[in-house]
Every structure is written in C-alpha cells, then in structure tokens.
Amino acid sequence: MLNIILEPELEQRLHAIAAKSGHSTAQLAREAIIELIENHEDLAAAQAMPLTADQKAELNRRRAELESGAVRGLPWEEVRQSLLSRR
C-alpha cells in the first residue's frame, strides 16, 4: 500500500469527489486521483494562491517531520509511476 500525504485543501477536494461519487477515496480510480493532484498543482502554480495560517502550520509540521527523518518524501514521478503500475 502506498500512503500519500496531500495538502489539506486537496484532501478535502478528494473527499468531496468521493462523496459525490458514492465511493470511498480508496475506491476512486488511480487515474482520477492523479489527474486531481496534477490539476491542483497546475492551478496553484498559476494562481500563486496565498496560504492560510492553518495551511502554513500544516506545511511547517510536515517539513519538520521530513527533516527529522520520521517520514520519507517521494518525488511526484515516483508516486505517479507506483500508482499507475498497480492497474
């Protein structure tokens, strides 16, 4: 199993899509999840969206977790390939 940590806003969007479709987030098609992540990254980059205080706090928490060695980050391409190879 591959665990992916999403930005809070993206995670909320994923849960909303799952709820509308009547499926759990685990049941969503990998391609739909990948498309959602890629579209979110493109939109965020294009809009240079400012972060809320809560989002900044969450990013700082995750950065500290990475820097402490408690978790290991993966490049997006590695995550994407792992998801696509599970078909």
Residues 21-67 have pLDDT tens digits of 777 777 766 667 777 777 766 666 656 667 788 988 988 888 888 88
Residues 5-20 have pLDDT tens digits of 777 777 787 788 778 8
Token duo for residue 70: 């408690």
Q: For the whole prediction, is pTM greater than 0.85?
A: no
Other Cβ atoms within 10 Å of 37 Cβ, number: 20
pLDDT given at position 75? 80
Token duo for residue 17: 């899509």
Residues 6+ apart with CB under 8 A from 32: 17
Distance CA 72, CA 3 (A): 11
Residue 37 near residue 6 (C-beta atoms within 8 A): yes
